[in-house]
Structure 1
Amino acid sequence: MNSRKKMRGGPKKFKKLELYSRISFLYLNKAFKNPLILKVAERKHKLVFKFLEKEQADVIAKYKNLKEKKHDEVGVRYIWTLWWQGEDLAPEVVKLCLNQLKENSNGAKVVLITKDNYKDYIELPPYILEKREKGYITFQQLSDIIRFTLLEKYGGLWLDSTIYTSKPIPKEYFDYPFFSQHTKWADTCFVQHNLWHGFCIGSKKGGKLVSFAKEMFFDYWENHDVIVDYLMIDYILMIAYNHFNDIKEEIDSLPYSSERLYELVTILNNEYDEKYFNSLMEECIFSKLDWHKEYKLSIKGKETYYSHIVNLQ
């Protein structure tokens, strides 16, 4: 029997983490470089790291000296994405992104994971499914668990279902032991400091980092009923970055991506400008959109950026 105590609703040791989390991300989109917010966020990050590194010391130690597996030539190049209810019930912006992904898959096999087919590809521990049913595991956390389980078993590229793909996905993205959109280090509230972006995660089959992340999630949820942080995915990857020299080298050696990954979503309701749009799409192969927002097809009788990408379908 595991000796670690399960932590159910609102354990005391999570109270401080919750407070720091609420403060540090209160105005994240507008003030993520504010010195005071940065200071609070950094304090919160240290607390989360301290907790996870203590609770999951065995998993970290297991992978410390494990070498990256030697990988054979890539067979099937998989692109994984997920919309739990299925494509027919997806919002229009998600359908648009899925169409763009299929159009630009460049010969890779696009697999849309849903509640009806995920068991065809992976098997999750019963306690994961039980805690999802009880509401301990949020849908976002389940999505993170599924992505790393798929990548560990099959390899490939995971893209969130709200990623707009502007041009064919380079085949070399599948050649890295670990891949993500990698932008220059930035002192922001985000614990990953732009070293990777969770909406785009790639790996070889059985890759060390995705295997570690999968095991960290499994181990965590076997022993806890409360999530330590909404963005636990980034804390897990940063633990690997900080503890495993080979993983740090893999991430640091990734080619730089455009820093305009989140720009398209901010202008979709603006009047369309062809030169600006073409420049952005040439620079950004992936743009993160948001299905929660409402998008307009016109503004003052003029075409919007959203209308333009809809008409491209």
Structure 2
Amino acid sequence: MIVNFIGKILYFFANIIPVKRIRKIIKAKIKWKYSHPYIANYLKLNYITPYYEKNNQYHLEPKAIFENEKIIWQFWYQGENEMPDIIKKCTQSVKRYMGEEYKIIILDKNTIKKYIDLPDFVVNKLENDFFGKKTTTFFSDLLRVALLSLYGGIWMDATIFLSAPINKDILSKKFFIFTRSKNKPEDYIEWVLFNRNYFSWDEGFQVNMLSSFLVAQKNSSEVSAIKDILLEYWKKEKTIRHYFIIQILFNILYDCKSADEYNSDIVPHLLQKFSDQNFDQKLWKSIKTKTSIHKLTYFKNIRKNSLIDIVLSHSYE
């Protein structure tokens, strides 16, 4: 409580900093400095340590048989017919570039049970929005690791846009995630300002991986442990204690920071970061050279002839 109290006081006084850019960075740092250690310690004490001491495993059974089929899993709770246009553009791009090689399964609230039976305590909390507005988002964190543990394959958030087929080196991995680079990039401040709750290179920062794109083999130890811990969390908890719980769990268990720039989680955010700039051929080519996997988010408005406008409209290849 003392750390919490001090953090809140510092956060309050940070509001008087006149330079908006500096104020945002300092407020974000104060916020995670007291929230990340708390949630990390809470998860270790109440879930991670008991999991390894008692070997608390939930045994889920596959309900579908895939004979030599490679699967891409996606999820939109309301169903494909209810997708906003930008989500449709994203899922169409996945079908366009990966549909010949992979079976693409887009799950919704009615089709989940065709592939997996989750415990009643999960289903009941999901159907009753037990955790409030974030229940469905939190459920998708559980769903991705449960499906990958059971069947293997690729999980792609419905907000992932592809500009080309996924690199074969990524597809061949037994386990792959985009992670935070150990070394700060030269423009790291720009990335902190881009998303100050997600990006930081400071020691002790716990959100160091992108959960929107995961590659894993069936029964992968990396996703199976997260699956069991999240199921236990769903069973016991009454609140979502932090928005980035799955990222923090991955970071605690597997130390997500990497020296390999190849899997830096900056790369899949490049299109989003420069989305509102005027379309520039060299910029778009540079982004596509680095990756074909682009993590997007919702746009209130898309400015005509902006980078994201041209890319999503497919008027420039």
Give the TM-score range, shorter chain: 0.7 to 0.9
* Counterpart selection for 1:200 from 199, 203, 213: 213
How many residue pairs were aligned?
Answer: 275
* Counterpart selection for 2:110 from 111, 116, 121: 116
Q: Determine whether 1:214 maps to 2:227.
A: yes
Residue 241 to residue 92, structure 1, CA distance change in 2 (3 Å): same
Residue 257 to residue 41, structure 1, CA distance change in 2 (3 Å): closer
Is the partner of 1:198 in helix, strand or coil? strand
Is the partner of 1:116 in helix, strand or coil? coil
Q: Determine whether 1:34 maps to 2:25.
A: yes
Shift of 1:170: 2.5
* Counterpart selection for 1:166 from 159, 163, 166: 163
* Counterpart selection for 1:89 from 78, 82, 85: 82
TM-score by length of structure 2 reads 0.75
Which region of structure 1 is more displaced relative to structure 2, 90-99 or 169-178?
Answer: 169-178
Report the AA paired with residue 88 of structure 1.
N
Q: Deviations over 1:122-171 (max 9, x none)?
A: 11110011112332231111111111111101111111111111211133
Q: Determine whether 1:60 maps to 2:52.
A: yes
* Counterpart selection for 1:276 from 283, 300, 305: 283
Q: Is the 8 A contact 1:32 1:38 kept in 2?
A: no
Residue 34 to residue 92, structure 1, CA distance change in 2 (3 Å): same
Task: Report the equivalent of 2:188.
Answer: none
Q: Is the 8 A contact 1:33 1:189 kept in 2?
A: no
Q: Is the 8 A contact 2:166 2:293 kept in 1?
A: no
CA distance in 2, matches of 1:129, 1:112: 19
CA distance in 1, matches of 2:264, 2:41: 31
Q: Is the 8 A contact 2:153 2:218 kept in 1?
A: yes
TM-score by length of structure 1 reads 0.76
Gapped regions of structure 2 (runs ≥ 5)? 57-66, 183-199
Alignment map for 1:99-114 (pairs within 5 Å) = 99-105=92-98, 107-114=101-108
Is the partner of 2:214 in helix, strand or coil? strand
Q: Is the 8 A contact 1:80 1:111 kept in 2?
A: yes
CA distance in 2, matches of 1:198, 1:283: 19
Which region of structure 1 is more displaced relative to structure 2, 268-277 or 32-41?
Answer: 32-41
Residue 107 to residue 192, structure 1, CA distance change in 2 (3 Å): farther
Shift of 1:47: 1.1
Q: Is the 8 A contact 1:258 1:284 kept in 2?
A: no
